[in-house]
Amino acid sequence: MNFASDNVSGAHPKLIEAIAAANAGPAMPYGNDPLTDAVTQRLRQVFEAPRAAVALVGVGTAANALALATLCPPWGAIYAHRIAHIEVDECNAPEFFTGGAKLTQIDGAHALLDADALAATLGAAGAGVVHNAQPGALSLTQATERGGTYTPEAVAGLARIARNHGVAVHMDGTRLANALAATGASPAEMTHRAGVDVLCLGATKCGALGAEAVILFDPEAHPGRAWELALRRKRAGHLFSKMRFVSAQMMAWLADGLWLELGATANARATALRKGLEAAGVEILTPAGVNLFFARLTAVQHRALQAAGAHYYTGPADTEGAVEARFVCSFATTEDEVNAAIAALS
C-alpha cells in the first residue's frame, strides 16, 4: 500500500525484457545504434511529427532543464505554475541549465495555469526593456502536480497567449501518458497541434526504469536548436554511452500502446481509491481523472490509514490533526492495495 509516488514502483516486466534483449552483441555508443534510431522514428509516428528531433535522457529533471535551456536564454523568464515541479522540486535545475534564467510564477486552480493570469503577467513583463527579464518560455505540466489535466483546447489557449508574446511552449509530460489516457486526446492533438514546441515525455513514472524523451517537434521552426539540444545534453552529462539500454525501454514502452495502457491502469486505480475514500467520508480536494489526487484526512482517518500500512505524503497537520494528503497510484498498484486502503476507513 505505497501511494507515496508513482516512482516507488519498479519497471514493467516488458521493459526489463527489452533491456535484456538489447544486450546482444556490440552496438555503437552514444546513440549511434539502431535502437535509438528506431525510437526517433517511433516517436515521430506516435506524435505525427515527421521531422521531430529527439533526445533521450534518464531523469525527468534533466529533460525539463535541457528543454527549457534550449528555449529560454539566460536573461529570460520562464512562466510556470507556482507549484510546478520545475519551480519547487528541481533544486534550481532550470536556473542552472539556462545559465541563470528566472522562474516567474503564475497561479491557477489545481496547478493548472490560469490563462488570464498568464496574459496579465506577460503583458506586464517588460519585453524590450533592458532592465527586465525578457519573456522566454512558458512551461505547463500535463497532468499537473495536483492532478489537473488540460484539454487540447486549454493548451492551445495558453500557447496562443505565449505565441503572441514571442514565447515558446514547453510541456512537462512526466505524466502525459496518464493525461492522454484520461482525456482520450491523441498525442499530436495534446502537444504540437495545440502549440507545444518541446515536450518532455516521461516514461519513468509510468513503467520505465529511467527513460525520458525531449521532443522538439519542428526543428525547422527553431533553427539550430536540435543541435544545441544535443550539445547541451552532452555537456550536462546526459548522453549515455550505452544509449541502447534507454532506447530499449522507450521502444518497449511505446510498443502496442503499452504506455497508454499503463497510464490508464494507474488512472483507474486512483479513481477507485478516490471513490472509495470519498464514500468513506474523506474530503477530496482535486479533480478526478489521472493517477493522483489530494484529500483532506481527519486525524482519525489519517491514523487509520497509517495503521493499515498505507504510505503517502502529507502536509503539516492543522490544530485538530487533520492533514492534506497526496495519493498516487502507478501501473503497478493493485486492486488489493486500493481495497485495503479503503477498508481501513470502513
Residues 15-54 that bind a second copy (CB under 8 A): 16, 19-20, 22-30
Tell me which residues in 210-249 interact with a second copy (CB under 8 A). 210, 228, 230-232, 234-242, 244-246
Confirm or reject binding of residue 127 to a second copy (CB under 8 A).
no
Residue 304, phi-psi category: left (phi > 0), alpha (psi -120 to 50), beta (remainder): alpha
For residue 204, give the C-alpha cell: 519513468
Name the DSSP class of 334.
-
| Nearest one of 132, 107, 129 to 119, comparing CA atoms | 107
Among 90, 145, 189, 197, interactor with a second copy by CB under 8 A: 90
Of 88 and 284, which has the nearer Cβ to a second copy?
88
Closest CB 200 distance from a second copy, rounded Å: 11
Q: Which stretch binds a second copy (CB under 8 A): 101-109, 252-260, 267-275, 298-306?
A: 101-109
- Given a contact cutoff of 8 angstroms between Cβ atoms, the answer to whether 27 and 203 are in contact is no
Tell me which residues in 134-193 interact with a second copy (CB under 8 A). 134
Among 44, 96, 268, 276, interactor with a second copy by CB under 8 A: 96
Closest CB 65 distance from a second copy, rounded Å: 6
Rounded CA separation 201/39 (Å):
12
Please name the residues in contact with 149: beta carbons below 8 A apart, sequence gap of 6 or more.
142, 143, 179, 182, 183, 287, 289, 290
Query: How many CB atoms lie under 10 A from the CB of residue 82?
Result: 14
Of 156 and 329, which has the nearer Cβ to a second copy?
329
Closest CB 97 distance from a second copy, rounded Å: 8
Count of residues near a second copy by CB under 8 A: 77
Rounded CA separation 177/179 (Å):
5
Of 113 and 185, which has the nearer Cβ to a second copy?
113
Confirm or reject binding of residue 5 to a second copy (CB under 8 A).
yes
Confirm or reject binding of residue 314 to a second copy (CB under 8 A).
no
Return the SS3 of 45.
Answer: helix
